[in-house]
Amino acid sequence: QVLLVESGGGLVKPGGSLRLSCAASGFTFSDYFMSWIRQAPGKGLEWLAYISSSSIYISYADSVKGRFTISRDNAKNSLYLQMNSLRAEDTAVYYCAREDKWLVRGPLQWGQGTLVTVSS
Amino acid sequence: QSALTQPASVSGSPGQSITISCTGTNSDVGGYNYVSWYQQHPGKAPKLMIYDVTNRPSGVSDRFSGSKSGNTASLTISGLQAEDEADYYCSSYTSSNTLLFGGGTKVTVL
Protein backbone atom coordinates (compact mmCIF):
# COMPACT_ATOMS: atom_id res chain seq x y z
CA GLN A 1 0.00 0.00 0.00
CA VAL A 2 1.09 3.60 -0.49
CA LEU A 3 3.18 4.88 2.39
CA LEU A 4 4.56 8.40 2.75
CA VAL A 5 6.71 9.15 5.79
CA GLU A 6 7.87 12.70 6.47
CA SER A 7 10.88 13.52 8.63
CA GLY A 8 13.15 16.44 9.45
CA GLY A 9 10.75 18.61 11.40
CA GLY A 10 11.65 20.27 14.66
CA LEU A 11 12.36 23.55 16.41
CA VAL A 12 14.26 26.20 14.47
CA LYS A 13 14.97 29.87 15.15
CA PRO A 14 13.57 32.64 12.95
CA GLY A 15 15.82 33.13 9.95
CA GLY A 16 17.05 29.57 10.15
CA SER A 17 16.81 26.70 7.68
CA LEU A 18 15.42 23.20 7.71
CA ARG A 19 15.23 20.37 5.19
CA LEU A 20 12.23 18.07 5.22
CA SER A 21 12.28 14.62 3.67
CA CYS A 22 9.52 12.30 2.58
CA ALA A 23 10.22 8.60 2.06
CA ALA A 24 7.80 6.97 -0.36
CA SER A 25 6.96 3.29 -0.78
CA GLY A 26 4.21 1.08 -2.15
CA PHE A 27 4.11 2.69 -5.58
CA THR A 28 6.44 3.63 -8.45
CA PHE A 29 7.61 6.95 -7.05
CA SER A 30 9.30 8.07 -10.25
CA ASP A 31 5.98 8.02 -12.13
CA TYR A 32 4.11 10.57 -10.01
CA PHE A 33 3.88 14.28 -9.34
CA MET A 34 4.41 15.06 -5.65
CA SER A 35 3.33 17.99 -3.47
CA TRP A 36 4.07 19.61 -0.12
CA ILE A 37 1.16 21.04 1.88
CA ARG A 38 1.16 22.56 5.35
CA GLN A 39 -1.32 23.25 8.11
CA ALA A 40 -0.66 25.88 10.78
CA PRO A 41 -2.00 25.05 14.27
CA GLY A 42 -5.77 25.32 14.26
CA LYS A 43 -5.81 26.55 10.65
CA GLY A 44 -6.64 25.20 7.23
CA LEU A 45 -4.57 23.50 4.55
CA GLU A 46 -2.13 25.49 2.44
CA TRP A 47 -0.57 24.05 -0.70
CA LEU A 48 3.13 24.97 -0.97
CA ALA A 49 4.70 23.34 -4.02
CA TYR A 50 4.58 20.50 -6.50
CA ILE A 51 7.16 18.76 -8.64
CA SER A 52 6.65 16.57 -11.68
CA SER A 53 7.93 13.02 -11.96
CA SER A 54 11.14 14.04 -13.74
CA SER A 55 11.47 17.40 -11.94
CA ILE A 56 10.79 19.31 -15.17
CA TYR A 57 7.68 21.04 -13.85
CA ILE A 58 7.87 22.82 -10.50
CA SER A 59 5.44 25.33 -9.04
CA TYR A 60 5.33 27.25 -5.74
CA ALA A 61 2.79 29.19 -3.75
CA ASP A 62 3.58 32.90 -3.58
CA SER A 63 3.94 32.64 0.20
CA VAL A 64 7.07 30.48 -0.08
CA LYS A 65 8.47 31.34 -3.51
CA GLY A 66 12.14 32.25 -3.23
CA ARG A 67 12.47 30.78 0.29
CA PHE A 68 11.47 27.13 -0.17
CA THR A 69 12.80 24.65 -2.73
CA ILE A 70 11.13 21.37 -3.64
CA SER A 71 13.23 18.54 -5.06
CA ARG A 72 13.20 14.78 -5.44
CA ASP A 73 15.56 11.84 -5.82
CA ASN A 74 13.80 9.11 -7.75
CA ALA A 75 16.64 6.67 -7.11
CA LYS A 76 16.00 7.03 -3.37
CA ASN A 77 12.19 7.27 -3.63
CA SER A 78 12.42 10.52 -1.72
CA LEU A 79 10.91 13.99 -1.84
CA TYR A 80 12.49 17.02 -0.17
CA LEU A 81 11.60 20.54 0.91
CA GLN A 82 14.46 22.92 1.67
CA MET A 83 13.14 25.76 3.79
CA ASN A 84 15.23 28.92 4.26
CA SER A 85 14.65 32.26 5.98
CA LEU A 86 12.04 30.68 8.21
CA ARG A 87 9.48 32.88 9.95
CA ALA A 88 7.16 32.33 12.88
CA GLU A 89 4.26 32.06 10.45
CA ASP A 90 5.91 29.00 8.86
CA THR A 91 5.11 27.05 12.03
CA ALA A 92 2.90 24.18 10.87
CA VAL A 93 2.54 20.48 10.24
CA TYR A 94 4.07 19.77 6.84
CA TYR A 95 2.58 16.99 4.71
CA CYS A 96 3.97 15.37 1.61
CA ALA A 97 1.39 14.01 -0.80
CA ARG A 98 1.17 11.94 -3.94
CA GLU A 99 -0.51 13.54 -6.94
CA ASP A 100 -1.53 12.02 -10.26
CA LYS A 101 0.92 10.70 -12.84
CA TRP A 102 0.19 13.30 -15.48
CA LEU A 103 -1.05 16.42 -13.72
CA VAL A 104 -1.84 18.04 -10.41
CA ARG A 105 -5.54 17.52 -9.74
CA GLY A 106 -5.34 17.46 -5.92
CA PRO A 107 -3.42 15.10 -3.61
CA LEU A 108 -4.46 11.46 -3.78
CA GLN A 109 -2.61 10.18 -0.71
CA TRP A 110 -1.03 12.00 2.22
CA GLY A 111 1.70 11.29 4.73
CA GLN A 112 1.14 11.73 8.45
CA GLY A 113 3.03 15.00 8.57
CA THR A 114 6.00 16.45 10.42
CA LEU A 115 5.80 19.44 12.76
CA VAL A 116 7.98 22.47 12.16
CA THR A 117 8.12 25.09 14.90
CA VAL A 118 9.81 28.42 14.24
CA SER A 119 10.51 30.19 17.49
CA SER A 120 13.32 31.91 19.33
CA GLN B 1 -4.10 33.96 -4.19
CA SER B 2 -7.01 33.84 -1.75
CA ALA B 3 -8.39 30.55 -0.49
CA LEU B 4 -11.55 29.11 -1.97
CA THR B 5 -14.61 30.11 0.06
CA GLN B 6 -16.27 27.50 2.26
CA PRO B 7 -18.77 27.96 5.09
CA ALA B 8 -17.05 27.77 8.46
CA SER B 9 -19.49 25.21 9.81
CA VAL B 10 -22.37 22.98 8.77
CA SER B 11 -24.41 20.74 11.04
CA GLY B 12 -27.06 18.09 10.70
CA SER B 13 -28.78 15.30 12.57
CA PRO B 14 -28.00 11.63 12.01
CA GLY B 15 -29.63 10.38 8.82
CA GLN B 16 -29.99 13.83 7.31
CA SER B 17 -28.18 15.18 4.25
CA ILE B 18 -25.90 18.18 4.31
CA THR B 19 -24.14 20.10 1.56
CA ILE B 20 -20.87 22.02 1.77
CA SER B 21 -20.14 24.65 -0.85
CA CYS B 22 -16.77 25.71 -2.26
CA THR B 23 -16.76 28.94 -4.23
CA GLY B 24 -13.94 30.11 -6.44
CA THR B 25 -13.55 31.91 -9.74
CA ASN B 26 -13.32 31.23 -13.46
CA SER B 27 -9.58 30.79 -12.92
CA ASP B 28 -9.94 27.81 -10.63
CA VAL B 29 -13.18 25.98 -9.73
CA GLY B 30 -15.08 27.32 -12.73
CA GLY B 31 -12.29 26.73 -15.20
CA TYR B 32 -11.30 23.14 -14.47
CA ASN B 33 -12.92 19.88 -13.45
CA TYR B 34 -10.09 19.29 -11.00
CA VAL B 35 -11.93 19.87 -7.74
CA SER B 36 -11.23 17.50 -4.86
CA TRP B 37 -12.68 17.13 -1.38
CA TYR B 38 -10.85 15.97 1.75
CA GLN B 39 -11.99 14.79 5.17
CA GLN B 40 -9.78 15.44 8.18
CA HIS B 41 -10.38 14.13 11.67
CA PRO B 42 -8.59 15.86 14.58
CA GLY B 43 -4.90 15.04 14.69
CA LYS B 44 -5.07 13.01 11.49
CA ALA B 45 -3.92 13.53 7.92
CA PRO B 46 -6.52 14.54 5.33
CA LYS B 47 -8.22 11.77 3.35
CA LEU B 48 -9.37 12.11 -0.25
CA MET B 49 -13.16 11.74 -0.53
CA ILE B 50 -13.94 13.10 -4.01
CA TYR B 51 -11.72 13.91 -7.01
CA ASP B 52 -12.40 15.46 -10.41
CA VAL B 53 -15.61 17.05 -9.05
CA THR B 54 -17.71 13.87 -8.91
CA ASN B 55 -15.50 10.78 -8.61
CA ARG B 56 -15.17 8.70 -5.46
CA PRO B 57 -11.95 6.78 -4.75
CA SER B 58 -12.26 3.10 -4.02
CA GLY B 59 -13.32 2.54 -0.43
CA VAL B 60 -15.12 5.84 0.08
CA SER B 61 -18.78 5.48 1.02
CA ASP B 62 -21.32 6.30 -1.68
CA ARG B 63 -22.97 8.57 0.88
CA PHE B 64 -20.44 11.15 -0.30
CA SER B 65 -21.08 12.84 -3.64
CA GLY B 66 -19.74 15.88 -5.46
CA SER B 67 -21.05 18.31 -8.03
CA LYS B 68 -20.23 21.66 -9.61
CA SER B 69 -22.17 24.57 -11.06
CA GLY B 70 -20.28 27.50 -12.46
CA ASN B 71 -17.68 28.68 -9.96
CA THR B 72 -19.14 26.71 -7.04
CA ALA B 73 -18.46 23.07 -6.23
CA SER B 74 -20.42 21.15 -3.61
CA LEU B 75 -19.95 18.09 -1.41
CA THR B 76 -23.09 16.33 -0.22
CA ILE B 77 -23.08 13.85 2.63
CA SER B 78 -26.22 11.73 2.71
CA GLY B 79 -27.41 9.67 5.64
CA LEU B 80 -25.20 11.61 8.02
CA GLN B 81 -23.39 9.45 10.58
CA ALA B 82 -21.48 10.28 13.76
CA GLU B 83 -18.21 9.25 12.08
CA ASP B 84 -18.72 11.97 9.46
CA GLU B 85 -18.02 14.64 12.06
CA ALA B 86 -14.76 16.17 10.83
CA ASP B 87 -13.28 19.08 8.93
CA TYR B 88 -13.75 19.12 5.16
CA TYR B 89 -11.62 20.93 2.61
CA CYS B 90 -12.03 21.49 -1.11
CA SER B 91 -9.15 22.05 -3.51
CA SER B 92 -8.88 23.16 -7.12
CA TYR B 93 -6.23 23.39 -9.78
CA THR B 94 -5.76 26.99 -10.96
CA SER B 95 -4.86 28.82 -14.16
CA SER B 96 -1.60 29.86 -12.48
CA ASN B 97 -0.55 26.19 -12.46
CA THR B 98 -0.98 26.04 -8.70
CA LEU B 99 -3.31 24.29 -6.30
CA LEU B 100 -5.72 26.16 -4.03
CA PHE B 101 -7.51 24.90 -0.94
CA GLY B 102 -10.69 26.14 0.66
CA GLY B 103 -10.67 27.51 4.19
CA GLY B 104 -12.32 24.38 5.55
CA THR B 105 -15.75 23.49 6.94
CA LYS B 106 -16.38 21.92 10.31
CA VAL B 107 -19.19 19.37 10.10
CA THR B 108 -21.04 18.69 13.33
CA VAL B 109 -23.41 15.78 13.78
CA LEU B 110 -26.05 16.88 16.24
pLDDT tens track, chain A, 120 positions: 999 999 999 999 999 999 999 999 999 999 999 999 999 999 999 999 999 999 999 999 999 999 999 999 999 999 999 999 999 999 999 999 999 998 899 999 999 999 999 999
Nearest by CB to residue A62, choosing from B1, B52, B92, is B1
Q: How many CB atoms lie within 10 A of CB A14?
A: 13
CA-nearest residue to B87 within chain A is A44
pLDDT(B54) > 80: yes
Tell me what pLDDT residue A16 has.
98
Tell me what pLDDT residue B14 has.
97
Tell me what pLDDT residue A62 has.
95
Q: With CB atoms and an 8 Å threshold, state whether A106 touches B51.
A: yes
Residue B65 pLDDT grade (very low, low, confident, very high; cuts 50, 70, 90): very high
Length of chain A, in residues: 120
Tell me what pLDDT residue A26 has.
97
Nearest by CB to residue A45, choosing from B46, B47, B97, is B46
pLDDT(B2) > 90: no
* Sheet of B64-69, strand order: B18-23, B72-77, B64-69
What is the average pLDDT across B83-107? 97
Sort B47 into a burial class: Cβ within 10 Å, 0-12 / 13-18 / 19+.
middle
pLDDT(B1) > 80: no
